[in-house]
Structure 1
Amino acid sequence: MTHAVPSRRHTSAADLRTQISTGNLKAGERLPSETQLAAHYKVSTPTLRNALALLQAERLIEKVHGKGNFIRSPLHRITYAGGGRTPFDPTLQVSIRTTNLRARGHLRALLRISSNNPLTEFLCITHEGKSPHSLARIYVPRDLAPAVQLGSSGWPQRAEPIAAKIRETVTARLPTQEEATTLRISSTLAVLAITSVATDATSRVVEAALLVLPGDRANAVFTTHRTTEERETEG
């Protein structure tokens, strides 16, 4: 059996990755110049830049134009606990943009409404410092939108929840170009895409949320509560 030999860019990236993980290179520290690093690893400058690009995609380092490459601070991981738009973390800032629009395309099917029905969209982007962390697009039928207000967490929510059932679908995929640009992530970094649809007691869709969480900083935790009947049946 033959084993693939790691390329020089992967070997260089692996050594830098180890130095970052062990703390030899600390958050905020500036790396030596690309020319110095290329000489240290005995590789060409283009090969060294490819190695740094791997670490940039992993968000271990960032390149500041005109200043060099710097070690990034550890990523703040957030946990989505399911059950609707649970605020991810009160330490994150939230910016919200509200837009009125008409239901078209996939929104018609998602909210189970007719074409051109009026909707309100809440575009929510969380930030850690100046860095975007996650995004959510929340759609509410226009007649229900006035009841939605900003809660203490900064997220739009109702004073009295009317959802009787919430169905969530979780998909791991690559980000769209718009998502990658908004979140400032690599187009090769997988994201958790969560579609949450809330219905009331009459089965009317009262809210649909499309959440995008970069895979390098998010966990999704779902808890199932079994009924007494289910436990007795298994017993």
Structure 2
Amino acid sequence: MPSRRDAIADDLRDQIATGRIKPGERLPSEVHLASQYRVSTPTLRNALAVLQVEGLVEKVHGKGNFVRRPLRRITYVGGGRTPDTQTAAHAALSVTVHTTRTRARGHLATLLKVPTSSPLTEFLCLSHEGERPHSLARIYVPCDLVPAAALRESLSYEGVMTRLARLRPPLAEVRERVSVRLPTPEETSTLRISSALAVLAITRQMADTAGRVVEAALLVLPGDRADAVFTTHYVIDERATEG
């Protein structure tokens, strides 16, 4: 038998799915809902928390709980590509890029296989749907591969990707690690998501033919709007199929 929390979440979920409560609409106050469902306020808040984690409801501080408008999904395509913002499905996404110099420390030094404090160029890429943050990518490249002039240029996201493809040596290996975790406080604030919403965290290393890591990327995609696709191509030995 479902708990009162789950029963309330099921009822509200059904009202949202059938359009009785529409996207962007403010839900009744928590006090009113608790009275309507004849439960305590903490139980009602637990039910709303379930819907917040699912991405159906968002709580706006000082204003209340609102039904979230459907978010465009973003697809990460494995094998060295970045979140795809070029397809028609993602045409409404825009990306801002902030470029700066930093130093390799801790995890970054390990990822890029460089001594601690080695100079790096960081590309901080934040995608938006309208005014709403959508996903976050931090791309790190050794400074000797990025001319100082690049820091003074105002490049689009596509421009950054094109520039990096020209600057780095030919790639020989791309290694990606995908995990699911809760967001950090900084990610929660930057992406304006619930601290209880799981994110898809992708760590990517790119190495050239000499084995040098020429790029490392840390990608954060909120779980309510992200998919990851990995395709493996097999080489078929035609000789083995003959005869």
What is the TM-score normalised by the length of structure 2? 0.83
Aligned residue number for residue 34 of structure 2: 38
Q: CA RMSD in A?
A: 2.5
Task: Count how many residue pairs are aligned between Structure 1 and Structure 2.
Answer: 230
- SS of aligned partner of 1:143: helix
1:92 and 1:47 mapped to 2: Cα distance?
37
Aligned residue number for residue 185 of structure 1: 193
Give how far 1:211 is off. Answer: 0.7
Aligned residue number for residue 110 of structure 1: 111
Give how far 1:32 is off. Answer: 2.4
Q: 2:97, 2:157 within 8 Å by CA — same for their partners in 1?
A: no
2:18 and 2:160 mapped to 1: Cα distance?
37
For residues 175 and 97 of structure 1, do their structure 2 counterparts lie closer, same or farther at Cα, with a shift above 3 Å needed? same
Give how far 1:189 is off. Answer: 2.2
Q: 2:175, 2:205 within 8 Å by CA — same for their partners in 1?
A: yes
List gaps (5 residues or longer) in structure 2.
87-91
Q: C-alpha offsets along residues 123-173 of structure 1, whole Å, 9 cap, x if unaligned?
A: 111111222111111000101123978456365432536323211111222
Identity %: 63
- SS of aligned partner of 2:46: helix
1:31 and 1:199 mapped to 2: Cα distance?
50
- SS of aligned partner of 2:108: helix
Aligned residue number for residue 69 of structure 1: 65
1:38 and 1:154 mapped to 2: Cα distance?
51
1:6 and 1:207 mapped to 2: Cα distance?
49
Give how far 1:20 is off. Answer: 0.9
2:55 and 2:22 mapped to 1: Cα distance?
14
Q: Which has the higher helix share?
A: 2
Q: After TM superposition, which residue ranges in structure 1, 4 or more long, deviate above 4 angstroms?
A: 231-235
For residues 84 and 25 of structure 1, do their structure 2 counterparts lie closer, same or farther at Cα, with a shift above 3 Å needed? same
List gaps (5 residues or longer) in structure 1.
none
Aligned residue number for residue 172 of structure 2: 164
1:170 and 1:68 mapped to 2: Cα distance?
34
Q: C-alpha offsets along residues 77-123 of structure 1, whole Å, 9 cap, x if unaligned?
A: 11111122434224311122222112221222211112222111111
For residues 43 and 122 of structure 1, do their structure 2 counterparts lie closer, same or farther at Cα, with a shift above 3 Å needed? same
What is the TM-score normalised by the length of structure 1? 0.86
Q: C-alpha offsets along residues 8-41 of structure 1, whole Å, 9 cap, x if unaligned?
A: 2221111001111222221112222333322321
